[in-house]
Each structure stands twice: as C-alpha cells, then as structure tokens.
C-alpha cells in the first residue's frame, strides 16, 4: 500500500530556511540539490512509511529518521498518509520544538 506524503507548513518553512542558509553560505545550486534530495527522501516514505524510530515519548505517533546524518525528519503515519512535521538541521532540538507544538 502506498501512502500519500504531505508537508506541514512548519516543515516547508524549515526547508525554505535551510535553502536560504545553504545558498548564502555556498551557492543556490548546492542549496537546490540538497533541499530537493531531502524532499525526495521524505517522499520515499510513501512506500516504506514506518522506518525510523518511534518517539512516542516526545509526541504520540511521532517517528524520526535521519537524512545524511545531518537532518532529522520528524513525521507521523496514519492509515494512508505520512505527515512530515519537521525537517531539523544541524543538531536543532527537535524534541523540545515538537513537544511545544503538541501542547494545547
């Protein structure tokens, strides 16, 4: 069964911020390639969505995996949907951010 992958607005904002950071530090070509590779990696969750590690201690249903040892991708899996909640680069404290987002 193939799942549909969607990006939360926060994840899209994080990808855009990462793009801007890389583009200013190196080049737009490198930023394009790196962020596009992250998006493709996230989209590959459609065929194997339960990869990574369960992190119910941070947020119910949360799973995390890494991309090239520098990016943490946080997501949840429902019946036929993978929701990418965040794309955290360079040691960001994703646990605190996602716990704060989950609080009412």
Please give the structure tokens belonging to residue 62. Answer: 């949360």
Please give the structure tokens belonging to residue 53. Answer: 């590690």
In the chain, what are the domain boundaries? 4-102
DSSP 104: -
92, 81, 84: which is closest to 64 by C-alpha? 84
**Which class would CATH give 4-102?**
alpha beta
For the stretch 1-33, pLDDT in tens is: 799 999 999 999 999 999 999 999 999 999 999
For the stretch 30-84, pLDDT in tens is: 999 999 999 999 999 999 999 999 999 999 999 999 999 999 999 999 989 999 9
Task: Supply the DSSP string of 17-75, one letter for each residue.
Answer: HHHHHHHHHS-HHHHHHHHHHHHHHHHGGGTSTT-SEE-TTTSTTEEEEEETTTEEEEE
Predicted TM-score of the model (pTM): 0.92
């Amino acid at each position: 069964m193939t799942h549909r992958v969607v990006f939360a607005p926060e994840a899209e904002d994080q990808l855009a911020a990462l793009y801007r950071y890389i583009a200013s530090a190196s080049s737009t070509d490198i930023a394009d390639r790196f962020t596009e590779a992250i998006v493709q990696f996230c989209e590959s969750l459609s065929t194997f969505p339960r990869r990574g590690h369960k992190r119910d201690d941070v947020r119910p249903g949360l799973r995390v995996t890494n991309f090239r040892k520098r990016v943490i991708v946080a997501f949840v899996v429902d019946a036929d949907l993978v929701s990418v909640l965040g794309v955290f680069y360079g040691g960001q404290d994703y646990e605190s951010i996602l716990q704060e987002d989950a609080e009412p």
